[in-house]
Amino acid sequence: MRTDGAPAQVVEQALYEVRKTIHPRAVHGWFAGWRWALVWATQIVFYGLAWLPWNERQAVLFDIAQRKFTIFGLILFPQDIIYLTVLLIISALSLFLFTAVAGRLWCGYACPQTVYTEIFLWVEERIEGDRMARMKLDAAPLTAGKLALKAAKHGVWIAVALWTGFTFVGYFTPIRELWDAVWRLGTGPWETFWVLFYGFATYGNAGWMREQVCKYMCPYARFQSAMFDKDTLIISYDPGRGEPRGKGPGKGHCVDCSICVQVCPTGIDIRDGLQYECIGCAACIDGCDRVMEKVGFPKGLIRYSTQHAMERKLTRARMFRRAFRPRVLVYSAILWIVIIAAGVSLWNRVPLKVDVIRDRAAISREVEGGMIENVYRLQIMNTTEATRTYEIDVEGLEHLELHGPERVEVGPASSRTVPVRVRLHAEREHVGAGIYPIEFEVEAEDHPEEAVREKSVFMVR
Amino acid sequence: MIEFTSGFWDLYITIITLVSILACGVLLVAQSRRRVAGGEAETTGHTWDEDLGEYNNPLPRWWMWLFWITIVFSLAYLVLYPGLGSYRGLWKWTQVSQLEQETARHEEKFGPLYERYAQMDVQALLAEPRALAIGQKLFLNNCAQCHASDAGGSRGFPSLTDRDWLWGGTPEAIRTSIAEGRLGVMPPWGPVLGEQGVKDAAHYVMSLSGMPADSIRVARGKELYAKTCVACHGAEGKGNPAMGAPNLTDKVWLHGGSEAQIMQTIAQGRSDQMPAHKDLLGEARIHLLAAYVLSLSRQ
């Protein structure tokens, strides 16, 4: 771009340009091993969990139509939204903590974008060969052979993507029924849409978009840098050891083999320092370590290190000790408090919920004998997996009596709404107009621990 | 756009919309390339805080296509849907037509179900738990606001759970009450009877349902009743379902059964209205509602 000698000359600059496909070279080593371990761990859970039976039903199923969310023995109703909130808070705090300690750990090892790209790259390498072969194939003219290779690759990709979409939908509609429906071509319109949409997103993001998702689309990638400080472990090239690059006497340890660039999934040169594109996958560390091993230099020319460690030449032990700094301790403390609170709350959870809905129009009415009556509807939600009979009682005012069903049967993991009349057995003139607090008590027969008290008001006018 | 009195505003909106879209396109073209002095070609030429430059990191080309797609989309939208002044769009879409379509789809789906129940007699529906369950849902959505969710009513709104019917308790009468609505009017007798007269009449009414009453007033009230009330409430006070005149001999009080409340009813009269639901619900749903309402007092 630069035109020498004529600084006044005007050049045209493109603000959009055609993306150059990155063909990362396959890499093996300690960190790649960790990434593959996480690929296996996350995907065995994702693909497998949907098929796991539990008490003659699917262990994990989010039934949106029935508004019933089952996670093993736990049955959640929409009223339990707080647990989703807590889960999101825990996820956010974990991200903060991991990022403060060791940079974009999530991005490099566990993010679905990374995990599926890894799987798709593996397929690509099996079919088209390694980096050089793929670059040559891309540059070659279209022949039957090339077409066959490309078709095979995309065929496998699409199969994986569709299976992923199918599994995803299998968490929202029973997966075994969905499987039968697929073979009968009898999936519902929304099931079909989501299988295809989620499959398309997997295929597009892991096959075509790849590093562009991280570079241009992902918001977490942008704000994670706000969690970095000078003691955050980042993937660093040690220029003190490496420079000047090259082979021979007087040169540093960097032999300028460019392996670190070839293995980078985002196409950067880590030797230029920390860059926003770096997803922290440590592929360059694995690549460089192999070269160092071959040329006989110590490993770790590129390594997890911190800015402080580089500047002040800290030992590994001192660098790791600095991980226990206020930012990290505060994140950990909050995280543990939230996790413990959520755990205690889940442990003490009563598998019964009651909503009291007061009749809004018929505020208060007089019945025979001049007594005052209020009407309520109790929504009783049984979140156990057995049929329960509940006893209803009301308290809060003297001479308050329940008229209506005092015992209600509710089926397993379902809810029932019963209208309940509450009558005040007192002379009209002894009760002033006003709003009186009352409490309903609902208790499962033979299960006294399954009891809920719910507040409401009794109105007299 | 009919609220606009002149065609100017149609034109105004159309021009502003189209010019804005065009301007987006022009901006996109103008900003996709830029000319900078050769020596600084690697930066965008933007400078902040005196010396903070910005490297040119070009976005991928497909990003620009996304912008073009939004422009094409908005133009296509404006051709197909109303948006440009009073132009109605090729598809002639309106909110009303969408509502009609959705209603028609709904009818198509649930129509046969209602149709099946509509063929059945109300008495037969009483033995159909599913029909009654639908009836209850309809009741909770359309009737519970006044009659309460247990159908027990409230002051001024009759209870539907007793066997006391203002306008008759046959399936036909109930269906008519729901479909056509009812207007129950008790005229004010205060000016005619005078304060003492009203009190006398009230005591007679109280005696009819066996409540304690002043026997002298009862005797005087009986004469007043025979002259003024008998026409609607009948000689025995049993009421008249033809005009919605309530039975005064049971212990059901629509507007309260205390002496003061009865006196107020006689002196000032009452006017109660049940709105007509024919257009809102349609025959088939009213049929199910009638069955549900009837089932309430059969329990």
Q: How confident is the model at residue B32 (pLDDT cuts 50, 70, 90)?
A: confident
Q: Residue A429: closest CA among chain B residues belongs to which residue?
A: B258
Q: How far apart are CA B69 and CA B299, in angstroms?
A: 64
With b for 16 or more beta-carbon neighbours within 10 A and e for fewer, the A162-184 pattern comes to bebbbbbbbbbbbbeebeebbee
Give the pair of three-digit tokens for residue A283.
């592929």
- Smallest CA–CA distance, residue B87 to chain A, in Å, is 34
Q: Do B149 and A419 touch (CB under 8 A)?
A: yes
8 Å CB contact between B266 and B146: no
What does A321-357 look like in DSSP terms, one character per residue?
HTTSSHHHHHHHHHHHHHHHHHHHHHHT--SEEEEEE
CATH topology of domain A352-460: Immunoglobulin-like (2.60.40)
A-contacting residues of B 112-171, CB under 8 Å? 144-150, 152-155, 157
Please answer whether residues B56 and B43 qualify as being in contact, where contact means their C-beta atoms are separated by less than 8 angstroms. yes
Q: B152–A361: do the CB atoms touch at under 8 Å?
A: no
Question: What stretch(es) of chain A map to CATH 2.60.40.10?
Answer: 352-460
State the pLDDT at residue A363.
77
Cβ–Cβ under 8 Å, residues A220 and A95: yes
Instruction: Give residue-wise pLDDT tens across range B158-185.
Output: 999 888 899 999 999 999 999 999 999 9
> Count of alpha carbons within 13 Å of B261, Cβ hemisphere only?
11
Size of interface A-B (CB pairs under 8 A): 111
- Which amino acid type is present at position A440? F
Q: Are B78 and B84 in contact (CB under 8 A)?
A: yes
| Beta-bridge partner residues of A414 | A382
pLDDT band at A3 (very low <50, low <70, confident <90, very high): very low
Q: Kindly identify which residue of chain B lies nearest to residue A5, measuring between CA atoms.
A: B39
State which residue of chain A sits closest to B147, comparing Cα positions: A362
Contact between B61 and A19 using a beta-carbon 8 Å cutoff: yes
Q: Do B60 and A19 touch (CB under 8 A)?
A: yes
What's the confidence (pLDDT) of residue A2?
41
Helix, strand, coil shares of chain A as percentages rounded to 5?
45, 25, 30
How many whole angstroms separate alpha carbon A423 and alpha carbon A431?
13
- The residue of B154, B163, B296 whose CB has the most chain A CBs within 10 angstroms, and thus the best one to mutate to test that interface, is B154
Rounded distance, CA A108 to CA B67, Å?
Answer: 31
Q: Give B116-141 pLDDT, tens digit per residue.
A: 999 998 888 999 889 999 999 999 89
Specify the pLDDT at position A353: 92
**For A310-335, what is the mean pLDDT?**
92
Beta-carbon-side half-sphere exposure of residue A272 (alpha carbons within 13 Å): 9
When mean pLDDT is compared over A1-10, A37-46, B41-50, B203-212, the highest value belongs to: A37-46
* B residues 51..80 contacting A (CB < 8 A): 56, 58-64
Residues B41, A375: C-beta atoms closer than 8 Å = no
> Tens digit of pLDDT for each residue in B104-122?
998 899 888 888 999 998 8
How many of the other CB atoms lie within 10 Å of CB of A124? 21
Sign of the alpha-carbon torsion through A210, A211, A214, A217: negative
What is the rounded CA–CA span in Å between residue A195 and residue A186? 13
- The yes-or-no verdict on residue B40 having pLDDT over 60 is no
Alpha-carbon distance of B267 to A392, in angstroms, equals 44
- Of A26, A20, A267, which Cα lies nearest the Cα of A123? A26
Residue A111: which residues within 8 A CB-CB, separation 6 or more? A279
Q: All domains of chain B, ordered by start, with CATH?
A: 1-30+57-93 (no CATH), 108-181+282-298 (1.10.760.10), 184-274 (1.10.760.10)
pLDDT band of B3, cuts 50, 70, 90: low
Contact B155 A9 (CB under 8 A): no
pLDDT for the residue numbered A434: 87
Q: How far lies A154's CA from each of A20, A130, B62, B110, in Å?
A: 19, 17, 21, 45
- Whether residue A6 lies within 8 A of chain B, CB to CB, comes out as yes
Cβ-proximal residues to A395 (8 Å cutoff; 6+ apart), any chain: A438, A439, A441
Task: Please tell me if residue B42 touches chain A, with a CB cutoff of 8 Å.
Answer: yes
- What band does B295 get if pLDDT is binned at 50, 70 and 90? very high
Which one of A366, A368, A421 has the shortest CB-CB distance to B155?
Answer: A366
Q: Tell how strand B59-60 and strand A16-17 pair up.
A: parallel
Q: Kindly provide the ipTM of the predicted complex, given to two decimals.
A: 0.73
Mutate to test the interface with A, among B143, B145, B150, B211 (most CBs of A within 10 A): B150
Q: Which residue would you say has higher pLDDT here, B54 or A225?
A: A225
pLDDT of residue B148: 87
pLDDT tens per residue across span A97-152: 999 999 999 999 999 999 999 999 999 999 999 999 999 999 999 999 999 999 99
